[in-house]
């Protein structure tokens, strides 16, 4: 039923995406997303080296014969990242869809295009999406303020950001931020998107490679259970509210605070090890969106995608809310 510019352009059965999630986007999850008829992205930098990424691509191919992609997040780092080598591992692995995020993807586009790879770029503002389109990307994934991760500094929610982007872009738009249900899919399509991106909903899946304590905490949490951190440093990030995020916010509000004062708390390695791997929900930072308030269970990717599609079809064809006449 849901044949959209996204499904047509990328050859995906359903207009649902599991975008790149550091520490989470590994073969087991991404293959399960693909087998459910959606599009999932391995995260290149989850792997410690380009050779490890090549092995993870091969491992994913052993688990699915359906399309999947790789996320390449381009950010300034203390230790240089061999982005060109990661890019070559993607190309050599025969991957045909890439999601770029962070910095301008322009340096990588010629190589990807020469290899016949379609590129989706993640953006948090309409002007960034327009710039990405002008560079030749094939679609834009646009993050509303509700999203996990880095929503930018302008605080524009999806209800406005999605249609604002749709007015300016000709390429497919993937709506991201606070989406976890069939109603969210219908709303995004009505606003001008042609697919939705979900991260937090797929974290609460049986195939997600994270500790069950985190999955159950997502189910227990409500829409208030996130926190914006790093705002004082112009690098706002939405994470699950826990003891670590509360401490970061408290320290950051001090007039003389610097990032060095919170660096030990903000360590990504700490979050991945103590929280995602060991299951200590207060052990470190972990990403989550406002969609926590819409997630009631841990389910398989097949169940998640199937429920969203069937609920969306029912809303469109049979079951408008009772207050709509």
Tens-digit pLDDT profile for residues 279-321: 999 999 999 999 999 999 999 999 999 999 999 999 998 765 5
Residues found in the chain: 325
Q: What is residue 324's predicted lDDT score, i.e. its pLDDT?
A: 46
Residue 1's pLDDT is 76
Same domain, 272 and 161: no
Model confidence band, residue 323 (pLDDT cutoffs 50, 70, 90) = very low
| Residues 19 and 68 grouped into a single domain | yes
What pLDDT is recorded for position 75?
83
Instruction: Please tell me the number of Cα atoms within 13 Å of 82 on its side-chain side.
Output: 12
Report DSSP state, residue 274: I
Q: How many domains does the chain have?
A: 2
Give the C-alpha separation, 136 to 121, whole Å: 10
Predicted pLDDT of residue 318: 76
pTM for this predicted structure = 0.94
Query: What would the mean pLDDT of 82-89 be, rounded to a whole number?
Result: 97
CATH code of the domain in which 176 resides: 3.20.20.70
92 in a structural domain:
yes
Confidence at residue 80, expressed as pLDDT on a 0 to 100 scale: 87
Do residue 241 and residue 154 come from a single domain? no
| CA–CA dist 96, 271 (Å, integer) | 31
| CA angle centred on 298, ends 54 and 2, rounded to 5° | 75
235 belongs to a structural domain: yes
Specify the pLDDT at position 319: 63
112 lies in which domain range? Answer: 5-209+296-317
* pLDDT exceeds 80 at position 9: yes
What distance in Å separates the CA atoms of residue 230 and residue 227, rounded to the nearest whole number? Answer: 10
Residue 54 CA to residue 36 CA, distance in Å, equals 23
133 with 231, same domain: the answer is no
- Within 10 A of 83 (CB to CB), how many other CB atoms are there? 19
In tens, the pLDDT along 234-286 reads 899 999 999 999 999 999 999 999 999 999 999 888 999 999 999 999 999 99
Quick check: is 128 in a domain?
yes
- Cβ neighbours for 246, distance < 8 A, ≥ 6 positions apart: 227
> Per-residue pLDDT tens for 147-168?
999 999 999 999 999 999 999 9
Please check whether residues 113 and 194 belong to one and the same domain: yes
- Identify whether residues 305 and 268 lie together within a single domain: no
pLDDT over 70 at 325, yes or no: no
- 178: alpha, beta or left, given left = phi > 0 and alpha = psi -120 to 50? left
Q: Is residue 324 part of a domain?
A: no
- Quick one: pLDDT at residue 321? 56
pLDDT at 90 over 80: yes
CB 3 within 8 A of CB 171: no
Per residue in 93-137, pLDDT tens? 999 999 999 989 999 999 999 999 999 999 999 999 999 999 999
The band of 78, judged by pLDDT with boundaries at 50, 70 and 90, is low
Query: What percent of the chain shows pLDDT beyond 70?
Result: 97
- The H-assigned helical ranges of 42-192 are 50-63, 83-92, 109-114, 126-135, 158-168, 182-191
pLDDT tens figures, 197-222: 999 999 999 999 999 999 999 999 99
Is 127 exposed, middle or buried, given 0-12, 13-18 or 19+ CB atoms closer than 10 A? Answer: exposed
CB atoms under 10 Å from CB of 4, counted, come to: 16
């Amino acid at each position: 039923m849901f044949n959209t510019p996204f499904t047509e352009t990328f050859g995906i059965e359903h207009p649902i995406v599991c975008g790149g999630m550091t520490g989470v986007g590994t073969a087991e999850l991404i293959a399960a997303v693909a087998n459910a008829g959606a599009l999932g992205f391995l995260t290149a930098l989850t792997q410690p080296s380009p050779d490890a990424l090549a092995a993870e691509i091969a491992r994913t191919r052993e688990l699915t014969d359906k399309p999947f992609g790789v996320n390449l997040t381009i950010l300034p780092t203390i230790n240089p990242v061999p982005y060109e080598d990661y890019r070559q591992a993607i190309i050599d692995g025969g991957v045909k869809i890439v999601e770029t995020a962070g910095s301008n993807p322009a340096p990588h586009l010629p190589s990807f295009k020469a290899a016949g790879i379609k590129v989706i770029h993640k953006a948090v503002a309409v002007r960034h999406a327009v710039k990405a389109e002008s560079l030749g990307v094939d679609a834009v994934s646009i993050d509303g303020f509700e999203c996990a991760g880095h929503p930018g500094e302008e605080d524009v929610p999806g209800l406005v950001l999605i249609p604002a982007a749709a007015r300016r872009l000709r390429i497919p738009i993937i709506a991201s931020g606070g989406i976890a249900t069939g109603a969210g899919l219908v709303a995004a399509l009505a606003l001008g998107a042609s697919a939705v991106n979900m991260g937090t909903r797929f974290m609460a899946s049986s195939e997600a490679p994270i500790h069950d304590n985190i999955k159950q905490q997502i189910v227990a949490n409500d829409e208030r259970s996130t926190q914006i951190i790093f705002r004082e440093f112009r690098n706002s990030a939405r994470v699950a509210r826990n003891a670590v995020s509360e401490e970061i916010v408290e320290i950051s509000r001090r007039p003389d605070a610097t990032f060095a004062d919170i660096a030990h708390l903000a360590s990504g390695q700490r979050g991945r090890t103590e929280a995602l791997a060991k299951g200590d929900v207060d052990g470190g930072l972990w990403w989550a969106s406002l969609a926590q308030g819409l997630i009631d269970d841990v389910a398989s990717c097949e169940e998640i995608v199937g429920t969203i599609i069937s609920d969306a079809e029912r809303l469109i064809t049979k079951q408008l809310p009772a207050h709509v006449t």
